[in-house]
């Protein structure tokens, strides 16, 4: 028997690097079928090409995560139900969309005009590990792993270097940008529940070199003009320092470092070389600085997206992707558990949804999808809009220990909706189905980890790829398989 040793891998085990030991051992048996090794590998390659094309493998070069932190009510947005008890029925009417069979509520008239460009997963579902709190659910949605420290109040410990990485950090480690551009941008505010800020918004055990570029303009969550005050001075070359002078400084630093192995060893874990290299490329190229300039967009385009923090963040996301950024995450511009335009509608759902939350979502998301499609950018960009959970089918009941008014809905992870577009995702389609009251999936349930696996898959990254944590222990990106039925 022919034994072909597999290759050792220190950082990652990526099947894209070539045939694995298992693959070669498998094709070794083909000799019994009268095939040479070369013929077997040729057949394997042809088969993989067909499979990849059909399943959406590697269709995306970039991803925009539109993260609706707070947990929007699926029943009051994109999974309306008729002929249900009064406590379940939405206060909003149902409207037909551009695609027959994909009905939405009256809160999303603009999104209804672009349903021919997207898919809705109406069967997102999971059973919570511990309490029904935002931070634990946000952590799971972003890392693919459940939180292991949840206090009685429902909060978690602050971000730690031991945390699992945000999915975007994994992506930029495995697939860095092809041009000198910010790899991963997160805006316009951190992920947050109460006093726990940015949990699952970091690179965790991958190291700070893979953290996102945080674009958090000054101003509170009610300031709708904060994106007009973006400060990117750290991406600007000072007037008195020319590009040549900057290059000389970099070479001098390399010479000094070469003679100081002790210093290099001391800062090795902080990935300082990656910091300097990235900063040098960004500052000298000017690509990022130009991408952040929203004034280069017409007033008509800016109005279309919405003159608010969310709309302008989505417009900036499109500009960043166009400039070469690999991952952009736009976080809903209101802390998870709060009032006004927050999605955490424990009280006053009807007024807050109709006049505050839904109009911003409707204008921003529909414009992003339509604009990117018109520019041809949806071909290679995956857009995902999702929250950490939905809201309870019955109004006025408590499922998480929170108080709810008769017009409020509590947290509900057992069934909710996600919206996807681009990178080979089926257009004008519904995946999965919720039951009569949108309480549970009727068919094809999708776990948050499977959604993450689908994102990795679309970018040509095996969800089972191994990364090593702070203790040098192997960990899979996510323990789930991609939902290939979303592609077509």
134's tokens: 């935002």
Average pLDDT over residues 214-221: 95
pLDDT at 34 over 70: no
Per-residue pLDDT for 320 more than 70?
A: yes
Q: Kindly indicate the confidence band of residue 232, based on its pLDDT and cuts at 50, 70 and 90.
A: confident
Residues in the chain: 488
201 and 272 both lie in a single domain: no
pLDDT at 446: 98
Whether residue 303 has pLDDT greater than 50: yes
Q: Using a pLDDT cut of 70, give the percent of the chain over it.
A: 76
- pLDDT tens-digit series, residues 322-374: 999 999 999 999 999 899 999 999 999 999 999 999 999 999 999 999 999 99
pTM over 0.95: no
What per-residue confidence (pLDDT) applies to 278?
55
For residue 27, is it within any domain? no
How high is the pLDDT of residue 10?
36
pLDDT attached to residue 265: 53
Specify which residues 62 forms β-bridges with: 381
- Position 233 confidence tier, pLDDT thresholds 50, 70, 90: confident
Residues 130 and 75 in one domain: yes
What is the secondary structure of 174-231 as a DSSP string? HS--SSSS-SEEEESS--EETTEESTT-S-GGG-GGGSPEE---SS-TT-TTGGGG--
Q: Is 261 found in the same domain as 199?
A: no
Q: Classify residue 21: in a domain, yes or no.
A: no
| 268/462: higher pLDDT | 462
Chain-wide mean pLDDT for the chain? Answer: 84
- 52-110 tens-digit pLDDT: 555 999 999 999 999 999 999 999 999 999 999 999 999 999 999 999 999 999 999 99
Residues 108 and 189 in one domain: yes
Q: Does residue 211 lie within any of the structural domains?
A: yes
Same domain, 88 and 212: yes
Mean pLDDT of all residues in 458-465: 98
Same domain, 341 and 472: yes
User: What's the average model confidence in pLDDT over 300-307?
Assistant: 98
Judged on CB neighbours under 10 Å (0-12, 13-18, 19+), 272 is middle
**CATH code of the domain covering residue 332:** 3.40.720.10
Domain shared by 178 and 316, yes or no: yes
Does some domain include residue 8?
Answer: no
Q: Is pLDDT of 20 > 90?
A: no
CA distances from 255 to 62, 250, 258 (A): 36, 9, 5
pLDDT reported for residue 29: 36
| Residue 121 sits in the same domain as residue 168 | yes
User: Taking every pair of C-alpha atoms in the chain, what is the biggest distance, in angstroms?
Assistant: 76
Do 410 and 450 reside in the same domain of the chain? Answer: yes
* Cα distance between residue 330 and residue 337, in whole Å: 18
Q: In which element (H, E) is residue 468 found?
A: strand 466-468
* Alpha helix segments (H runs only) across 74-203: 134-143, 167-174
Provide the pLDDT for residue 245: 52
- Position 154 scores a pLDDT of 63
How many whole angstroms separate alpha carbon 43 and alpha carbon 24? 13
Q: What is the pLDDT of residue 44?
A: 47
Whose tokens are 């590697």? That residue is: 58
Of residues 406 and 278, more confidently modeled: 406
Whole-angstrom distance, CA of residue 386 vs CA of residue 68: 6
Q: Return the structure tokens found at 322.
A: 């166009």
**Structural domain boundaries enclosing 265:** 231-292
Listed residues 266, 292, 318: the one ending a domain: 292
Q: What is the mean pLDDT of residues 288-311?
A: 95
Q: Is 53 inside a domain boundary?
A: no
Q: Does residue 22 form part of some domain?
A: no
**Cα 393 from Cα 411, distance rounded (Å):** 10
Say whether both 337 and 368 belong to one domain. Answer: yes
**Domain total of the chain:** 2
Please give the pLDDT value at position 179: 87
- Of residues 155 and 202, the one with the higher pLDDT is 202
Residues 398 and 263 in one domain: no
In a 3-state reduction of DSSP, which class is residue 412?
A: strand
Task: Give residue 194's pLDDT band: very low, low, confident or very high (50, 70, 90).
Answer: confident
pLDDT recorded at residue 158 = 87
464 is a domain residue: yes
Residues 470 and 348 in one domain: yes
């Amino acid at each position: 028997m022919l034994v072909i040793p597999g290759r050792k891998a220190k950082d990652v085990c990526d099947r894209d690097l070539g045939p694995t030991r298992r693959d070669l051992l498998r094709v070794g048996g083909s000799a019994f079928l009268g095939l040479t090794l070369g013929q077997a590998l040729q057949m394997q390659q042809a088969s993989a090409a067909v499979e990849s094309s059909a399943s959406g493998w590697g269709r995306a070069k970039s991803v925009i995560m539109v993260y609706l932190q707070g947990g929007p009510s699926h029943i009051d947005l994109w999974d309306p139900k008729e002929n249900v008890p009064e406590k379940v029925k939405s206060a909003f009417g149902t409207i037909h969309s551009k695609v027959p069979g994909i009905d939405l509520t009256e809160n999303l008239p603009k999104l209804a005009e672009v349903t021919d460009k997207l898919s809705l997963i109406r069967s997102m579902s999971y059973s919570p590990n511990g309490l029904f709190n935002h931070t634990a659910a946000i952590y799971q949605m972003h890392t693919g792993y459940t939180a292991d420290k949840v206090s009685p109040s429902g909060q978690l410990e602050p971000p730690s270097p031991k945390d699992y990485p945000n999915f975007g950090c994994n992506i930029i480690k495995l697939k860095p940008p092809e041009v000198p551009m910010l790899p991963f941008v997160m805006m316009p505010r951190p992920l947050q529940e109460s006093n726990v800020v940015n949990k699952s918004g970091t690179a965790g055990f991958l190291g700070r070199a893979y953290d996102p570029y945080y674009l958090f303009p000054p101003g509170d969550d009610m300031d709708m003009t904060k994106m007009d005050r973006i400060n990117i001075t750290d991406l600007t070359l000072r007037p008195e320092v020319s590009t040549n002078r900057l290059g000389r400084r970099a070479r001098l630093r390399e010479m000094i470092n070469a003679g100081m192995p002790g210093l290099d060893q001391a800062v090795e874990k902080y990935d300082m070389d990656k910091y300097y290299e990235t900063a040098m490329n960004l500052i000298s190229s000017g690509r990022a600085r130009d991408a952040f300039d929203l004034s280069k967009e017409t007033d008509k385009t800016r109005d279309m997206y919405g003159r608010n923090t969310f709309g302008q963040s989505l417009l900036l996301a499109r500009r960043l992707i166009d400039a070469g950024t690999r991952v952009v995450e736009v976080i809903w511009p209101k802390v998870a558990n709060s009032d006004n335009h927050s999605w955490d509608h424990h009280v006053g759902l009807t007024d807050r949804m109709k006049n505050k939350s839904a109009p911003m979502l409707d204008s921003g998301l529909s414009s992003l999808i339509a604009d990117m499609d018109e520019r041809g950018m949806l071909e290679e960009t995956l857009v995902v809009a999702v929250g950490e959970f939905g809201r309870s089918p019955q109004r006025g009941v408590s499922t998480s220990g929170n108080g709810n008014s008769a017009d409020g809905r509590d947290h509900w992870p057992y069934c909710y909706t996600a919206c996807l577009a681009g990178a080979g995702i089926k257009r004008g389609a519904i995946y999965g189905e919720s039951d009569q009251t949108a309480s549970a999936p009727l068919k094809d349930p999708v776990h948050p980890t499977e959604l993450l696996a689908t994102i990795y898959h679309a970018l040509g990254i095996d969800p089972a790829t191994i990364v090593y944590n702070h203790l040098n222990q192997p960990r899979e990106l996510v323990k789930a398989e991609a939902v290939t039925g979303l592609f077509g």
